[in-house]
């Protein structure tokens, strides 16, 4: 059982959602013995609280949106109203850009609601209070920078965009990644990135600097001094300090989250495949046998049939044969057994040939040399096959296309699979949460890959799968 803090903290919670308020209140009482909590659910109530000039708090916890005031103006007014009390924003990922700008204006910290815990909230409150004491000893010009940087529980880095050179890191970065401050300052960002993904990371960082005045979100593998790889989500924003254009990066470690999601995804896909194989085997072994027995039984009646009856017999016999063939094809699509005795390219050719049995599409298939050598893992190849299978189904149902191209290309230490068509296209935003697209995205992310869609109404569609080499081994 943990020991609670007995300091008499006076805390103001500005939150209009009663459920979120209750959660935060529980977190506070879990780590602080007797916190004095004041609740304001709107700006009017807040103003009434501060109408008494003697009102003061140790810390303010602020939700970004109130029913009667929100936006950047709310943050500015809160900071002015409660000063010098530290303000901690509680937010979701969707407000990260807003949060970074708010921190630059004087907010002490921001916490993501979905990841919030009692310990995290308590540490942030203690840091915020201590941070205010620390800042009071500094000049006014250093307040916001120090608030944002050194005492943040999240690793932060300031670097020069032109050279990627690291100029400053905070204590959390030193603690989490194991390098000393001097070692950090002798590095560039690319020295910190997992070597296998340096080309990809370099392109992502360059892309960020082409998108001026915009917070950029990225995913990287960071090499710790111990040799371990930490998977992080980074949020970068441009800053001007003393007339110099720099970039601030906040890094959130998602290694455990990714491992957990990976296990869930793998279990989901394994369940899907087991169901497919079970259904396919049932169709092939049982239903086909029943149809075969039906043909034999039907044949025994043929001699006793009149001429018109023979005609009906022949028709029934033909239909049973067609049903058997169709069930066999369906069972093979559900439970392909091709990778044991054939190549990925041959499996793709077979799938495309079966799909285009009526020859209504012009289909182009391209495999770079070396694809078969580099990508031999059964599970990986099966998932590529399923992605192609799903997209062909989408094209057949919706695209009204006449041409389909499937390209597997090796470049920048990754495999790219591109499936494109010249059909009617679709609105990516309104369709991104469809089951088919979600399944393809899930299968891609199982191998640390990226799933992209390039389509618009009237301009065909293109599915782009990018998977690093190392993740397939």
Q: What are 223-265's pLDDT values in tens digits?
A: 899 988 888 888 888 887 777 888 888 888 887 877 777 778 7
Between CA 220 and CA 265 the distance in angstroms is: 20
pLDDT of res. 26: 92
* SS3 per-residue string spanning 355-420: HCCCCCCEEEEEECCCHHHHCCCHHHHHHHHHHHHHHHHHHHHHHCCCEEEEEEEEECCEEEEEEE
pLDDT of res. 137: 60
For residue 374, count other CB atoms closer than 10 A to its CB: 13
Averaged confidence pLDDT in the chain: 82
Sign of CA dihedral 210, 212, 217, 222: positive
Q: Which residues contact 286 (CB under 8 A, 6 or more apart)?
A: none
Q: Helices 378-394 and 435-445 meet at what angle, rounded to 10?
A: 160
Between CA 33 and CA 9 the distance in angstroms is: 9
The pLDDT of residue 198 is above 70: no
Beta strands in 54-192 (DSSP E): 59-63, 65-66, 69-70, 87-91, 109-112, 156-159, 166-169
Between CA 68 and CA 78 the distance in angstroms is: 13
Q: What are 37-47's pLDDT values in tens digits?
A: 999 998 889 88
pLDDT band of 97, cuts 50, 70, 90: confident
Burial (CB count <10 Å: 0-12, 13-18, 19+), residue 179: buried
Does an H or E element contain 40, and which? Answer: strand 36-40
Q: What are 363-416's pLDDT values in tens digits?
A: 999 999 888 888 888 888 888 988 998 899 899 888 899 999 999 999 888 899
Between CA 56 and CA 105 the distance in angstroms is: 21
Q: What are 321-378's pLDDT values in tens digits?
A: 788 777 766 766 666 655 566 788 988 998 898 889 889 999 999 999 888 888 888 8
Q: Which of 190-194, 280-284, 362-366, 443-447 has the highest mean pLDDT?
A: 362-366
């Amino acid at each position: 059982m943990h020991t609670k803090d007995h300091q008499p903290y006076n805390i103001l919670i500005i939150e209009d959602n009663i459920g979120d308020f209750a959660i935060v209140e529980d977190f506070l009482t879990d780590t602080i013995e007797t916190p004095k909590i004041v609740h304001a659910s709107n700006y009017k109530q807040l103003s009434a609280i501060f109408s008494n000039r003697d009102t003061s708090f140790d810390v303010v916890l602020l939700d970004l949106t109130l029913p009667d005031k929100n936006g950047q103006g709310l943050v500015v007014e809160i900071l002015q109203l409660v000063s010098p009390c530290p303000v901690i924003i509680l937010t979701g990922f969707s407000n990260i850009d807003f949060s970074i700008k708010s921190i630059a204006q004087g907010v002490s910290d921001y916490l993501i609601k979905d990841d919030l815990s009692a310990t995290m909230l308590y540490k942030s409150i203690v840091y915020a209070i201590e941070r205010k004491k620390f800042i009071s000893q500094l000049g006014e010009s250093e307040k916001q920078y120090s608030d944002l940087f050194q005492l943040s529980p999240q690793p932060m880095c300031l670097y020069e965009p032109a050279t990627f050179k690291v100029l400053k890191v905070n204590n959390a970065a030193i603690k989490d990644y194991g390098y000393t401050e001097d070692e950090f300052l002798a590095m560039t960002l690319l020295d910190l990135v997992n070597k296998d993904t340096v080309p990809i990371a370099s392109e992502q960082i360059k892309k960020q600097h082409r998108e001026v005045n915009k917070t950029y979100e990225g995913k990287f593998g960071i090499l710790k001094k111990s040799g371990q790889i930490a998977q992080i989500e980074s949020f970068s924003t441009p800053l001007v300090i003393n007339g110099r254009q720099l970039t601030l990066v906040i890094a959130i470690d998602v290694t455990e989250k990714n491992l957990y999601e990976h296990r869930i995804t793998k279990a989901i896909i394994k369940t899907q495949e087991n169901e497919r194989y079970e259904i396919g085997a049932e169709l092939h072994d049982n239903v086909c046998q029943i149809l075969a027995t039906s043909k034999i039984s039907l044949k025994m009646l043929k001699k006793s049939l009149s001429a018109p009856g023979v005609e009906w017999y022949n028709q029934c016999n033909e239909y049973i044969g067609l049903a058997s063939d169709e069930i066999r094809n369906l069972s093979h699509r559900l439970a392909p057994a091709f990778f044991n005795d054939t190549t990925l390219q041959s499996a793709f050719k077979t799938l495309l040939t079966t799909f285009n049995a009526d020859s209504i599409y012009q289909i182009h298939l391209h495999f770079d040399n070396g694809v078969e050598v580099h990508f031999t893992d059964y599970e990986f190849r099966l998932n590529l096959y399923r992605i192609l299978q799903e997209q062909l189904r989408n094209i057949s149902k919706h695209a009204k296309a006449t041409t389909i191209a499937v390209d597997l290309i090796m470049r920048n230490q990754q495999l790219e699979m591109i499936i494109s068509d010249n059909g009617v296209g679709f609105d990516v935003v309104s369709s991104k949460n469809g089951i088919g697209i979600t399944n393809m995205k899930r299968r891609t992310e199982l191998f640390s890959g990226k799933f992209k869609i390039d389509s618009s109404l009237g301009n065909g569609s293109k599915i782009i799968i990018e998977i690093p080499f190392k993740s397939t081994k």
